[in-house]
Amino acid sequence: MSAPTHRKVVVTGLGAFTPLGGDVASTWAALLAGKSGVRTLTHDWTETIPVHFAAETAVDPSEVMDRVEARKLDRAEQFALIAAREAWKDAGAPEIHTERLGVVIASGIGGILSLLGSYDVYLEKGARRVSPHTVPMLMPNGPAAAVGLELKAQAGVHTPVSACASGSEGLGYAMEMIRSGRADVVVAGGTEAGVHPLPMAGFAAMMALSTRNDAPEKASRPYDKDRDGFVLGEGAGVVVLESEEFAKARGARIYAELAGQGITSDGFHIAAPDPEGRGAARAMKMALIDGGVNASEVVHLNAHATSTPAGDIAESLAIRGALGADTDHVAVSATKSMTGHLLGGAGAIESVFTILALHHRIAPPTINIENFDDEIKLDVVRDQPRSLPEGSIAALNNSFGFGGHNVALVFRSV
């Protein structure tokens, strides 16, 4: 494969606000310990929908965010801002001309809690009582705008929307901003806050959600024979990306290189995956070519693996289609078994996990596999984390979304 000619992009900061913890350290520790972030919901509407559980954030944003600031922000914006602050601090708050600083925060749905909550206000109290903050809170680019304002970013603020592939597409877009020379530093990630009866009823109507109400922490079980759908999660993941030259010039700590991306679309069905995973396989192959990474270097893969019967199999076929015999030395982790599915936040938080796996040379476990589905021809990391080899190694992160979106990112150790 030909080596890329563009500027190298590296990861220098990480932030997370997830069902497993309020920051990267607590989330990563819970992930390696195989803990589930899924719980029975305690909202007054819980019993009105068929699915009574989800993976809500471990910490409520009100515990870490000022009340006056929080009341003007949608919950998805709060998640993104909290995670972005952590990532920015973790990167050492780079000194950069704001015209060279960009922000890309993706979302699958946008501020749906604000949208629906404001509609309730309108119905109950009339138009005069609809908050003037409603539109900035419901617009899908609201989280990106909030982070951009905080950092005064002026190289461009963007929000890719591709359902559950959004977060990964966000990182890919940010990488291109740096490669093309439009920015030197980009704060990139994804966020979602959709634990509300309407989207949950919609997903349930699609038969997409697990209905394991009697054992919520066992409900997200990718690769298990008895998997019956995904578990809705919420939260955000954010990374700081920089051109390698900028990061090295300022002496930044570098976690990993974001080496390449592959983006394809299925052109097959609005919600169902191509059963053979052809579009997903092409995305992974393209990511490797784009990153100048040989399949033999790939030792870890954070799978999209949402715990749906069809999706997990299609992805496993795609992985083997893309990597061939090299699949056998890839330690596959399905971290949604612990975090649930963060939708537009998924690709971002799973990128954080993939980066940490390379940095610490350890692949997180997949939990809840009681009867492994033998149709899955992958080496899945089960129950306990697994060490990754020394030397130069690479890892893939897959994200797919309703609409037939396929995004694969490839990271390389430094």
CB of 128 to another protein, least distance (A): 6
Q: Per-residue DSSP letters for 244-271?
A: HHHHHHTT----EEEEEEEEEE--S-SS
Q: Is 129 in the site for another protein (CB under 8 A)?
A: yes
Nearer to another protein, 66 or 95 (CB): 66
Q: Please name every residue paired with 410 in a beta bridge, in sequence order, or none if there are none.
A: 260, 396
Which of 47, 123, 124, 128 contacts another protein by CB under 8 A? Answer: 128
Quote the CA–CA distance of 105 and 25 in Å, as a whole number: 21
Nearer to another protein, 46 or 131 (CB): 131
Q: Which stretch binds another protein (CB under 8 A): 47-55, 60-68, 199-207, 274-282?
A: 60-68
Q: Which residues are catalytic?
A: 164, 304, 341
Q: Is 152 in the site for another protein (CB under 8 A)?
A: no
CB of 132 to another protein, least distance (A): 4
- What are phi and psi for residue 6, nearest 5 degrees? -85, 175
The H-or-E segment that residue 12 falls in is strand 9-17
Q: Which stretch binds another protein (CB under 8 A): 61-69, 104-112, 367-375, 406-414?
A: 61-69
Nearer to another protein, 78 or 162 (CB): 78
Q: Which two tokens stand for residue 76?
A: 């998805």
Q: Which of 43, 56, 66, 10 is nearest to 345 (CA)?
A: 56
> In which region does residue 151 sit, left (phi positive, over 0), alpha (psi from -120 to 50) or beta (all else)?
alpha
Alpha helix segments (H runs only) across 292-411: 309-323, 336-339, 346-360
Q: Is 225 in the site for another protein (CB under 8 A)?
A: no
Site map 64..103 versus another protein, x via CB under 8 A: --xxx--xx-------------------------------
Rg (CA), the chain: 20
Q: Which two tokens stand for residue 258?
A: 């974001």
CB of 43 to another protein, least distance (A): 24
Burial of 211 (0-12, 13-18, 19+ CB in 10 A): middle
CB of 122 to another protein, least distance (A): 13
Which of 133, 329, 360, 361 contacts another protein by CB under 8 A? Answer: 133
Nearer to another protein, 93 or 149 (CB): 149
Q: Which residues bind another protein (CB under 8 A)?
A: 66-68, 71-72, 128-129, 131-133, 136
